[in-house]
């Protein structure tokens, strides 16, 4: 390199380092540590930044003698920029479910209450968008958010930015040394003057997902279409991770309609005199901890071990999810605890299979406060204890919810401080022979092809995309993206709730769950486990849960409703102002939208 080019490169590097030090200290520390390791000889450089005689930068892989670009890197960057267009196809993530809705249907659904339909507030908008901004026939005016998978020397990032001027960029590179070289060539600090930059450099899976989450949250209302450029030398693994992560976002799996219902329904249960359980009471005392609990979930493993269950169920506190109740009734196995979480009609096919509900008269029902009355009413009222999720009306009672009833049940057992918990049917995986999603008695069990999905699809594919993950007994098992997200949620619960003295034994043939002990059911020695007096157990449990619960709102809890109502009125007024504000141009609309969200997110600290 000539002296002038060298000085310019060093100046660019130092300016980028200063930018990272101020805006991304974690990444700055990584680069600084690598610099020191190189200077002190602790790290042998694998690459060399070279300025070719033809007037461009390239990277030489020292050991192999191969070049990263092998041709003019400037032209490569220009070609990359030309490949990016504003169509709604190609190198695109759609972060929504494609729904085809007719004008008549949209008008009908729009008249419904938001508690009756997930689409009540959006049906008209979906119809309008499909009619006037269809995917195939229209192009976008601007790409507000963009993802770079692989930096190389970053020259293409600069050229694409000149074309797009996106508001937010997500820059991904797995090779820290290669990214370091790009700091000599690419003015990241200048791009950051007009755009927000998120980096994922040399990150493990959990770090990457956290960075991705931050990127998606920034200007989240521009997430509808996100385009990307994948440099050829970069792995597709992160691309698939992004696709899976987008498909599992909360607004897709649990949108505003169920959130509203989950907030209102607990008040119905309180008005009807149901008991609400104080989870915080278990922080001081775990009166059920001396007996082993067996959690029965509806994964494929459950059915394979029914004979063992018939022989040994009396030695455990039996905890069951709703899909298994009719089968347990058929087997004559009475569960001691029944859990339920779903707030819609998904559980009804399972409940309607039950022939005689009196079979469960000595079962404690730990139900999420989202539960429908028509399900709760089928069980003995005095046995039901509701647990709050998002609502938190009961002061100091704590709240708990999660994405699926299996993990929910495990979380409750951990909260109850039960020391030995056995898991059967909590597979979070497909049946490795048939591909079925659940045990055969589950109303929604369906087979899937036992083949890992490798295609990168634009549209959201959450429940159908098959991947491989670590197995409980096998090295790898087939599962779906949805199941894997449930497993991750379960891991999070265990990390947060599991006491040091608690043992988790996983008897299932499915996925590995963190901090559990894979336990082959055929190797278990239960001769030392005494039979449990189930009548005495029910009496003891009911006494405990009665002492830890209340059926009413105290005066202070009633008073706490007023600031919530006032706050909701404030939010409605902010949105109403936006609806009646002139939006003469797209840019002005975006400014107004940003203003509205800023005002909406200015939430008082005393509002829960």
pLDDT, averaged per 10 consecutive residues of the chain (608 residues), comes to: 87 97 97 95 94 92 94 94 91 80 86 77 82 77 95 96 97 96 98 98 93 92 90 77 75 73 92 96 81 94 94 96 95 97 80 94 96 93 95 93 92 94 95 66 57 55 76 93 89 94 95 96 85 94 96 95 92 93 91 89 65
Residue closest to 74 by CA, chosen among 60, 91, 86, 57 = 57
Residue closest to 403 by CA, chosen among 501, 490, 274 = 490
Please give the C-alpha separations between residue 565 and each of 395, 446, 605, 608, in angstroms, as whole numbers: 17, 44, 15, 12
The Cα angle at residue 140 between residues 460 and 192, in degrees rounded to 5:
90
**Bridge pairing between strands 196-201 and 317-320:** unpaired
Collect all residues with Cβ–Cβ distance below 8 Å to 522 and sequence separation of at least 6. Answer: none
Rounded Cα distance between 143 and 575, Å, is 25
Phi, psi (degrees; rounded to nearest 5) at 249:
-65, 150
Phi, psi (degrees; rounded to nearest 5) at 305:
-120, 25
Q: Are 407 and 491 in contact (CB under 8 A)?
A: no
Per-residue model confidence (pLDDT) at position 181: 97
Per-residue model confidence (pLDDT) at position 51: 93
pTM score: 0.83
Helix 481-497 with 237-247: angle, nearest 10 deg:
80
Read off the DSSP letter of residue 447.
B
Per-residue model confidence (pLDDT) at position 107: 85
Q: Are 389 and 370 in contact (CB under 8 A)?
A: yes
Phi, psi (degrees; rounded to nearest 5) at 60:
-100, 125
Residue carrying the six token digits 């394979």: 304
Rounded Cα distance between 331 and 100, Å, is 44
Cα atoms in the Cβ-side hemisphere of radius 13 Å centred on 321: 28
Per-residue model confidence (pLDDT) at position 265: 93
CA-based torsion, 102, 108, 111, 112: positive or negative: negative
Distance of CA 398 to the CA centre of its chain: 22
Rounded Cα distance between 569 and 18, Å, is 45
Read off the DSSP letter of residue 535.
H
Q: Convert 449-475 to b/e letters by CB count within 10 Å (16 or more is b).
A: eeeebeeeebebbbeebbbbbebbeee
Phi, psi (degrees; rounded to nearest 5) at 67:
-100, 145
Rounded Cα distance between 432 and 424, Å, is 16
Q: Are 124 and 204 in contact (CB under 8 A)?
A: no
Residue closest to 347 by CA, chosen among 327, 321, 365 = 321
Query: What's the distance, Cα to Cα, between the start and end of the chain in Å?
Result: 60
Rounded Cα distance between 290 and 13, Å, is 62
Per-residue model confidence (pLDDT) at position 435: 63
Per-residue model confidence (pLDDT) at position 456: 53
Phi, psi (degrees; rounded to nearest 5) at 254:
-155, 80
Q: Are 160 and 182 in contact (CB under 8 A)?
A: no
Please give the C-alpha separations between residue 109 and each of 103, 106, 131, 184, 251, in angstroms, as whole numbers: 10, 5, 17, 56, 19
Q: Long-range contact list for 172-176, CB < 8 A, 24+ apart? A: 172/147, 172/148, 172/199, 172/200, 172/201, 172/208, 172/234, 172/238, 173/200, 173/201, 173/202, 173/234, 174/201, 174/202, 174/203, 174/234, 174/235, 174/238, 175/202, 176/30, 176/31, 176/34, 176/201, 176/202
The Cα angle at residue 112 between residues 108 and 113, in degrees rounded to 5:
165
Other Cβ atoms within 10 Å of 447 Cβ, number: 11
Per-residue model confidence (pLDDT) at position 448: 59
Other Cβ atoms within 10 Å of 382 Cβ, number: 12
Residue closest to 124 by CA, chosen among 102, 153, 139, 92 = 102
């Amino acid at each position: 390199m000539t002296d002038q080019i060298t000085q310019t490169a060093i100046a660019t590097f130092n300016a980028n380092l200063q930018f990272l030090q101020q805006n991304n200290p974690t990444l700055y520390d990584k680069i600084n540590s690598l610099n020191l390791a190189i200077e002190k000889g602790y790290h042998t450089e694998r690459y060399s930044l070279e300025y070719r005689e033809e007037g461009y930068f390239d990277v030489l892989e020292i050991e192999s003698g191969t070049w990263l670009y092998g041709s003019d890197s400037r032209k490569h960057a220009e070609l990359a920029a030309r490949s990016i267009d504003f169509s709604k196809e190609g190198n695109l993530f759609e972060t929504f479910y494609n729904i085809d809705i007719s004008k008549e249907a949209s008008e009908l659904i729009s008249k419904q209450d938001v508690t009756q339909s997930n689409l009540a507030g959006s049906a008209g908008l979906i119809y309008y968008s499909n009619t006037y901004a269809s995917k195939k026939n229209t192009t976008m005016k601007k790409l507000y958010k963009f993802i770079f998978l692989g930096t190389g020397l970053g020259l293409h990032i600069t050229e694409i930015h000149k074309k797009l001027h996106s508001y937010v960029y997500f820059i991904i590179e797995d090779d820290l040394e290669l990214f370091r070289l790009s700091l000599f060539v690419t003015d990241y600090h200048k791009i950051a003057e007009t755009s927000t930059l998120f980096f994922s450099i040399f990150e493990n899976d959990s770090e990457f997902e956290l960075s991705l989450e931050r990127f998606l949250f920034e200007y989240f209302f521009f997430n509808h279409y996100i385009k990307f450029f994948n440099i050829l030398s970069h792995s597709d693994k992160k691309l698939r991770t992004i696709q899976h992560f987008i498909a599992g976002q909360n607004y897709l799996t649990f949108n505003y309609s169920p959130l509203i219902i989950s907030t209102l329904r607990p008040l119905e249960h309180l008005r009807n005199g149901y008991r609400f359980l104080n989870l915080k009471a278990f922080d001081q005392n775990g009166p059920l901890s001396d007996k082993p609990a067996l959690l029965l979930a509806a994964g494929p493993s459950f059915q394979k071990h029914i004979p063992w269950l018939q022989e040994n169920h009396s030695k455990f506190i039996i905890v069951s999810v709703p899909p298994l109740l009719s089968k347990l009734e058929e087997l004559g196995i009475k569960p001691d605890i029944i859990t339920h979480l779903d707030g819609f009609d998904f559980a009804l096919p399972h409940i309607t299979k039950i022939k005689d509900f009196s079979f469960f008269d000595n079962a404690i029902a730990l139900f999420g406060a989202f539960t429908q009355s028509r399900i709760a009413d089928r069980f003995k009222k005095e046995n039901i204890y509701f647990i709050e999720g998002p609502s938190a009306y009961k002061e100091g009672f704590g709240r708990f919810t999660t994405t699926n009833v299996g993990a929910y049940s495990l979380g409750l057992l951990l909260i109850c401080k039960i020391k030995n918990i056995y898991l059967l049917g909590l597979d979070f995986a497909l049946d490795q022979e048939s591909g079925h999603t659940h045990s055969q008695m589950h109303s929604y069990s369906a087979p899937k092809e036992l083949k890992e999905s490798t295609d990168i699809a634009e549209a959201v594919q959450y429940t159908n995309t098959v991947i491989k993950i670590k197995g409980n007994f096998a090295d790898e098992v087939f599962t779906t993206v949805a199941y894997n997200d449930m497993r991750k949620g379960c891991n999070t619960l265990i990390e947060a709730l599991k006491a040091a003295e608690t043992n988790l034994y996983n008897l299932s043939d499915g996925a590995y769950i963190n901090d559990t002990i894979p336990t082959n059911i055929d190797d278990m020695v239960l001769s030392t486990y005494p039979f449990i007096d189930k009548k005495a157990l029910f009496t003891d449990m009911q006494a405990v849960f009665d002492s830890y619960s209340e059926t009413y709102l105290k005066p202070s809890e009633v008073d706490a409703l007023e600031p919530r109502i006032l706050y909701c009125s404030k939010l409605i007024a902010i949105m109403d102002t936006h609806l009646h504000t002139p939006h003469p141009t797209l840019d002005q609309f975006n400014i107004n939208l940003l203003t509205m969200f800023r005002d909406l997110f200015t939430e008082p600290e005393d509002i829960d």
